[in-house]
A and B are shown apart, each in its own frame.
Chain A
């Protein structure tokens, strides 16, 4: 009850929904009730913990080695006088991983601006190029080094998957970056990129939620941010309270999901044995 405002608003929404249900819930698809619960639960939990973090509640997050290594990788590039290569995946801004990749790019750009390290970001989508440029421009401005920012540091290659991989490979073998960061959505080109980066001796950090590509990054990269770790990267790197609160909220949701799975298993057993009539499997099925 640390956030009274939140609980008051939640109470009003719940009361409104109860009244709506009591008067016959017009225009409501009852076979999607579980989705309503899920949206309310997820939204409410995330908002609550974000607000708590903003109010100064301390949020503890365990270390993720791959994220600590990002600054080390940029530092290594600085020491060697070589560039940092950042690959934000091959998909467009309508993919959540690409969005996360561009956000992390902003943090990496801050580091490269701070250390005066060259940054090279080849992209395969025009909107990603524009978003990447905006993210880098803002980072260089925030670090007080707009003079170091150039539009060309984020440059378009091609939309074609393997042509893009060939182009990035060419950049790797010719420019020999000291650090290669792969953060975004990847498909079959992941191993081609990571193997080439490995062959030039670059420190490599990958982050993706593409399940089929994580094995290749795990094999060929020094550090890999797996799924959720990648999405948490922005909060870790920025240490902004609202983002850290979001991570805490997601953790609480995971715990709730674990509890839900166990409870649903018990309820299913009870239903199938005929001891209760309520069918949890039917409830969990979105029509």
Chain B
């Protein structure tokens, strides 16, 4: 219970500290911000290492299934294991992988990225960047061409010959929705036509296109705001729960203390920039 109690108090403090930004930038917000940034940076570094680099990279270079203490390759591994046995456990890494020496390439690219800490060798990092960008461009070109172009063309074609399709329906297929989709796609596409001035008849079509875009943005905005409100409600639910007797009224206590300290600092130092409570 004591661990849960401490966790509740910390959660309440950090939540209220972030909310205190609504008043102005202050020491509580700064504490929460720096904790958040610092801890998350460390957390993700650790996560990437233990969920990607150690099992997926080292685990494929020195798998336990191919362990041979006499070989030079595993001799190197044993030397590293002697330095750090938690990363390189004795007998090879058992993550269910076979040996794939092709992974020496990402390993080398990773080392090249690390070399950027030395000014004279920092150009090595460009290889890693070039590989990442080039690989992603090639890999995604096919997918985007399929989903964003060909599928869009296919789904924009109207079906005029279905006898069961209604003329108008709010949701689902109908002649009206099909025509709206067709006009919206064409007009939206032409809005992004850059090599012609948006004047005359063409300008009117592109204006229809921007109207379609704005309607879709408005709908997306409303949908996202509803999601954010539900997140806010979730935080309030937690704050209310942590105000119970089993948590010694954490929310009320921390809120009162924060308000007093912020009020006191505002009284002592009326700095318009808000750097008052340091």
Could you tell me which A residues sit within 8 Å of B by CB distance?
A: 34-35, 38-39, 42, 59-62, 64, 92-96, 99, 126-127, 130-131, 134, 156-160, 162-164, 166-167, 169-170, 173-174, 188, 191, 211-212, 214-216, 218-219, 226-229, 232, 247-248, 251, 254-255, 257-258, 260-262, 264-265, 268-269, 272-273, 280-281, 284-286
Using CB atoms, name the residue of chain B closest to A224.
Answer: B217
Task: Find A35's partner among B150, B156, B195 (CB 8 Å cutoff).
Answer: B150
- Chain A, interface SS category: helix
B132 touches A286 (CB 8 A): no
Give the distance in Å from the alpha carbon of A160 to the alpha carbon of B159 in the complex: 45
B194 touches A251 (CB 8 A): yes
Instruction: Beyond the given A93-B132, A258-B186, A272-B160, please list 13 additional residue pairs across the A-B interface where CB-CB is below 8 A.
Output: A38-B145, A62-B197, A93-B136, A158-B38, A159-B44, A163-B40, A215-B217, A218-B214, A254-B189, A254-B193, A258-B189, A269-B158, A281-B154
Give the distance in Å from the alpha carbon of A144 to the alpha carbon of B214 in the complex: 43
Distance to closest chain A CB from B214 (angstroms): 8
B30 touches A261 (CB 8 A): no
Using CB atoms, name the residue of chain A closest to B188.
Answer: A227
Task: Find A127's partner among B44, B132, B149, B217 (CB 8 Å cutoff).
Answer: B132
A227 touches B192 (CB 8 A): yes
Give the distance in Å from the alpha carbon of A248 to the alpha carbon of B159 in the complex: 32
Give the distance in Å from the alpha carbon of A64 to the alpha carbon of B217 in the complex: 19
B126 touches A127 (CB 8 A): no
Could you tell me which B residues sit within 8 Å of A by CB distance?
A: 18, 21, 25, 29-30, 32-34, 36-41, 43-45, 48, 113, 116, 125-126, 128-129, 132-133, 135-137, 139-140, 142, 145-146, 149-151, 153-154, 156-162, 182, 185-186, 189-190, 192-198, 213-214, 216-218, 220-221, 224, 228, 274-275
A-B contact count (CB 8 A): 183
B41 touches A158 (CB 8 A): yes
A166 touches B154 (CB 8 A): no
A93 touches B133 (CB 8 A): yes
Known contacts: A61-B194, A163-B41, A211-B220. The answer to whether A269 contacts B153 by CB under 8 A is: no
B113 touches A126 (CB 8 A): yes
B37 touches A167 (CB 8 A): yes
B189 touches A257 (CB 8 A): yes
